[in-house]
Amino acid sequence: MENASAFTMALGSLGPAIAIGLIGAAGLMGMARNPQNSDNIRTTMIIAIAFAEAVAIYAFVIALILKFV
């Protein structure tokens, strides 16, 4: 059962890691193209990163459930 929790964490953190990288890259490109609007872009980028990170936290909770049940 330990392999199931490790597999869950591996797959559950891979998606958010890629998403956070893409969000950061898109945010920086948007700020470079439109520096006057960088505050709004930064705020939206941080909110989107928080939502992507929540998926990794859900995967962590499921992995803990698989490990201890």
Give the pLDDT score at 2: 66
pLDDT band at 67 (very low <50, low <70, confident <90, very high): confident
| N-to-C CA span, the chain | 9
Q: What count of Cα atoms within 13 Å lies in the side-chain half-sphere of residue 64? A: 6
Q: Are 62 and 8 in contact (CB under 8 A)?
A: yes
Tens digit of each residue's pLDDT (9 = 90 or more) over 20-49: 999 999 999 999 999 999 999 999 999 999
Residue 16 binned pLDDT confidence (cut-offs 50, 70, 90): very high
Average pLDDT over residues 54-61: 92
CATH architecture of 2-68: Up-down Bundle (1.20)
Question: What secondary structure letter does DSSP report for 37?
Answer: G
